[in-house]
Structures are given as structure tokens and as C-alpha cells.
Amino acid sequence: AQTVTQSQPEMSVQEAETVTLSCTYDTSESDYYLFWYKQPPSRQMILVIRQEAYKQQNATENRFSVNFQKAAKSFSLKISDSQLGDAAMYFCAYSGATNKLIFGTGTLLAVQP
């Protein structure tokens, strides 16, 4: 069975600084997709970024980028120029052959002004 692990329950960053959230996963599949979702205090889940496992190039969406290391089964999220609105719970998620989304336990990010 596939698993997703987020080892940082909480992180803090100063406004305008850069922060990296860690995620590792375990799978025997070769074709899969990885996602980062954001859950602000409203609790509405929002997709931040996605990565296809067959692509070597790391995905980037504006201030958000990933470091995808397939051999190490690592998928970290980097947030550059952090803003107060980035404060939220961040979830790493995996989707494989069954199309189910499997989530990690989340990292609560605080942004200090």
C-alpha cells in the first residue's frame, strides 16, 4: 500500500522569506502523481501544485515550486517570498493506479510579520 509521510507537524517563516515543507512517500508503482494542497482557516482545500512522476522537471507555480526526487521518493514544497496569506495547513498527496488521493498528516505553516 502507498503511504505519504510529512514529518514536520508545524513550521514557521518570516514574511518575505523562503520555507521548504518536506514530504516523502512509499510506493511500488512507477506511474503516479503528486500534489500539494493548501487548507487555510476556512478549511477549503485548494490545489497548490502538481507533479507527474514521469517528468524530471520540477513543477513551478509562481512563488511555489517543488523538489521532486523520484529515487529518494521525496517531494518537498518551496514557498518563496512568503506572504501572510500563505499561512495554512499544507497537505502532500499521492495518486496512483487506483486514482485515489492518499494524504499525509499535514504541516501547519505560520507566517510571522
Among the listed residues 13, 19, 21, 35, the single contact to other proteins using CB under 8 A: 35
Decide: is 43 part of the binding site for other proteins (CB under 8 A): yes
Q: Give the nearest distance from C-beta 59 to other proteins in angstroms.
A: 11
**Contact residues for 26 (Cβ-Cβ < 8 A; gap 6+):** 2, 3, 5, 73
Q: Give the nearest distance from C-beta 54 to other proteins in angstroms.
A: 10
Q: Which is nearer to other proteins, 17 or 52 (by Cβ)?
A: 52
β 60-61/3-5 pair status? unpaired
Q: Which is nearer to other proteins, 56 or 113 (by Cβ)?
A: 56
> Of 8, 34, 5, 3, which Cα lies nearest the Cα of 108?
8
